[in-house]
Chain A
Amino acid sequence: MICSLRQLKVHDKATVTSVNAGGEMGRRLRDMGLVIGTEIEIIGRAPLKDPVAMRLRGFTLTLRNNEADYIYVDTKEPLA
């Protein structure tokens, strides 16, 4: 199922299907390896629920929720 990265819960795994960010934001995400086809796993959220921490390519990346909105992912199993 395709949904926005923001909707994922901790421990969810998914594959990036699109990154709709251009300019600075897009460049920054690409430099960190967040491109189409990347497998990610949500590993935690900051104490105030934002930003979100995820594991990809063997390292941990953090993003704000409103930045996660640019990224669409395909979850492996349908969301309950």
Chain B
Amino acid sequence: MTNSTIAFAGNPNSGKTTLFNTVTGSRHHVGNYPGITVERKEGSINFAGKHLSIIDLPGCYSLTAYTQEELVSRQVLVEERPDVVVNVVDATKLERHLYLTVQFLELGIPVVIALNMMDDVRSKGITINIEALAKALNSEVCATVARTGEGKHELLNQAIISTEQRHGEWQPLRLSYGPDIDPVLDEMEKLITARSFLTSRYPARWTAIKFLEGDDDLIERGGVDSKTTAELQQIVETLRTHCEKTLSSFPEAIIADYRYGFIHALLRKDVVTVPTTDARLDITDNLDKFLTHRVLGPSIMMFMLYAMFQITFTLGDYPMQLLNQLFALIADIATRLVPPGHLQSMLVSGVIDGVGGILCFVPLIMIMFIMIAFLEDSGYMARVAYMMDKVFRTFGLHGSSVMPFIISGGIAGGCAVPGVMAARTLRSPREKLATILTAPFMPCGAKIPVFLLLIGAFFAEHRPLIMFCITLIAWIMALLVARLLRSTLIKGESTPFVMELPPYRWPTLQGIMIHTWERTAEYIKKAGTVILAISILLWAGMTFPGPTEQQITAYQQQKQQLSDAIEHSESAQQQQDLSTQLQQLEHQQSATMLKNSAAGQLGTMLEPISKLAGFDWRTNIALIGGVAAKELIVSTLGTAYSLGEVDIDNDTSLSQRIAADPQWNKVAAISAILFVLLYAPCFVTIVVMARESSWKWACFALIFNSSIAFLLATVVYQIGIRIS
């Protein structure tokens, strides 16, 4: 079977990923491009006797060196030289989408155009002459509807035909950029060809265009032949001065004008016919009248966020209970099968409790992601950025900061790891840094179990309300701290907002499911590997070195005495009293054991300080574990409590145990919630932060965030204790 490589490319919101999903089904692989955080999606199918490897390039508007997405797209095309590019364009917005197409054609790579969203074209009464378009662009054009899969077979057939016709040969399109640019371009092209300057990779004319556009990436690559680079830059400089003087414009602006001119002219030639009635008010416009209305817009937005909590908690509760019971059952079976001792303790307290505590929240996280995917795919998320920009800018951020914040948990249940990664779409290094540093304040999916635990113990009747307040506090803190950072450590100007508001669309089930599954799998993978290892390590830290010989002997003697007394007791009343004493003794022994362990010692050592915020040594242990991964807080508390208090009634949940513990009360619970919300990001997040900024800033976040969290928790606890 012969192999072909196809790259899917297109503007954001062109339906590219939907088409990719429709074509490859669920058989795809998600990874990262080396060294950067742009996602690399690949899939493969067997079609018409051929094996097709399909790369889903990141969505981009242009092929400049402006964003990482654009650079990556360019690099894949040039380095991997796919056999053909399937350029997905939104047929209702042809004029703008073809701007990218023209740039592919200028590069010369074989292109097949997927004229997507043809259903919208038909319903709007627009007609597109596909043959005329194909002829004007000298490329194959296929009508598709990504959501239904209409036209996908023709598209793949056409891609294969193009591959066979072109044999990987590139044929750059030679556009005219007018009397000022063209002669200079020819001169540069000649020089580049004569010197074989970068010609092994890039077409000569394309290199010349990129130099005219002032493309940093290509100029840097030209460094291998610094003489030619200098000569080319000299030519560009002369032209630039000429353009500024005579046309008061820049070469790159003139090039763009001519590209649009080319597109405009070709669409005019009976390619697109728009109905003359111009009944502009489509569904999107009508919806936006409400959804971005001055008063209604923000109200609806707040309502949507609140509704999300309600739905998640109500729906998520049932499978969560079920999983809880399942793990209790597994723990029970393990206790029976494995003889008492360190192995049993490790299996039950370390492995099953640890992993169970994490997996119980999978249903919750799935429901949350289904809703986030829905908001993203429907186009509503862009409206949130649009409505929020003014607010965000006030705090030194960007309307697009809303995405990293929301993914990190701005809509509770996200994860700071992809959240911090999402900040890469921010173009200004300063706004990006401020967003990265404050996004981990958000209530991520791993913090939620802690909140639910404490809410369940003390505020069970106000669960959704308190969760909502937590999210609100997270936003307020993130914004205030961002403002603080932007006016002290990260001062500077703000960057352009320029953003597309995509039309509202009913998201596809497949798209939402794939999106949800990808993120849930990420969570499970993290839970299954790193956290299992840390869970066992922590169990060891909480078990060893254990109590001293003397203590063990002393406890055994006392227990023996009590047991003897029970056997010889005279009345039932006396027997019961003695049994209670024995039970209390056992609790004491377990407590001693944990206190003597490495973790207990560290927790106890910190207690005098942490007491200021209302945390005892057990909470300290859990919080220390939480720096490794927030998922560990609940499981560590669970381990700490099941070790610390051997309760005969195994059905008592951790929440009830905490509620019954005199160390805890409502004020301490609020203080703990605040601390967990704001303190150090987990290790994985720190690693990602370091990759997106630098280790210096990642370590800064670790110390800075913890300090802020402790300060706030202490203030709240001290005031709260005095009031109540």
Chain A residues close to B by CB (< 8 Å): 19, 22, 24-33, 35-38, 43-44, 46-51, 53, 57-64, 67
Contacts and interface: CB of A to CB of B under 8 A. Distances in A.
23 contacts: A24-B427, A24-B495, A27-B252, A29-B496, A30-B252, A31-B62, A32-B61, A36-B257, A37-B257, A43-B288, A46-B389, A51-B390, A53-B292, A57-B96, A58-B94, A58-B96, A59-B500, A59-B502, A60-B284, A60-B502, A61-B500, A62-B498, A64-B497
Chain B CB within 10 Å — which of A30, A33, A35 has the most? A30
A46 B496 contact: no
Contact count band on B: 35 or more
B541 interface: no
A71 to B, nearest CB: 11
Contacts of A30: 252-253, 256
Interface in B255-303: 256-257, 260, 284-285, 288, 292-295, 297-298
Nearest to A26: B253
B1 interface: no
Nearest to A28: B498
A62 B93 contact: no
A43 B399 CA distance: 19
A53 B260 contact: no
Contacts, number: 113
B393 interface: yes
Contacts of A67: 496-498
Interface of B: 61-62, 64, 66, 92-96, 99, 250, 252-253, 256-257, 260, 284-285, 288, 292-295, 297-298, 386-387, 389-391, 393, 399, 427, 495-503
B501 A48 contact: no
B288 to A, nearest CB: 7
A24 B431 CA distance: 15
A16 to B, nearest CB: 11
Nearest to B390: A48
Nearest to A36: B257
B563 to A, nearest CB: 73
Contacts of B427: 24
A8 to B, nearest CB: 17
| 3 A-B pairs with the lowest CB-CB distances in the bound complex, closest first | A48-B390, A60-B501, A30-B256
Nearest to A19: B253
B253 A53 contact: no
Contacts of A57: 93, 95-96
Contacts of B93: 57-59
Given A37-B257, A60-B503, A61-B499, 13 more contacts: A25-B496, A26-B250, A27-B64, A28-B498, A30-B253, A33-B96, A33-B99, A35-B256, A35-B260, A53-B386, A59-B93, A61-B500, A64-B497
Contacts of B66: 24, 27-28, 31
Contacts of A44: 288, 292
Contacts of A26: 250, 252-253
A51 B498 CA distance: 9
B98 to A, nearest CB: 10
Contacts of B94: 58
Nearest to B65: A27
Nearest to A25: B496
B428 to A, nearest CB: 9
B293 A62 contact: no
A59 B502 CA distance: 7
A61 to B, nearest CB: 6
A80 B205 CA distance: 49
Contacts of A31: 61-62, 64, 66, 99
Contacts of A61: 498-501
Contact of A63 (B298, B391, B497): B497
Contacts of B99: 31, 33
Contacts of B64: 27, 31
A17 to B, nearest CB: 12
Given A35-B260, A44-B292, A62 B497 contact: yes
A36 B93 CA distance: 18
A52 B162 CA distance: 43
Nearest to B394: A48
Contacts of B285: 43
Nearest to A55: B280
Nearest to B398: A64
Contacts of B390: 46, 48-51
A29 B96 CA distance: 12
Nearest to A45: B294
Contacts of B95: 33, 57-58
B496 A24 contact: yes
Contacts of B386: 46, 51, 53, 62
Contacts of A38: 260
Contacts of A64: 389, 393, 496-497
A33 B97 CA distance: 9
Contacts of A60: 284, 500-503
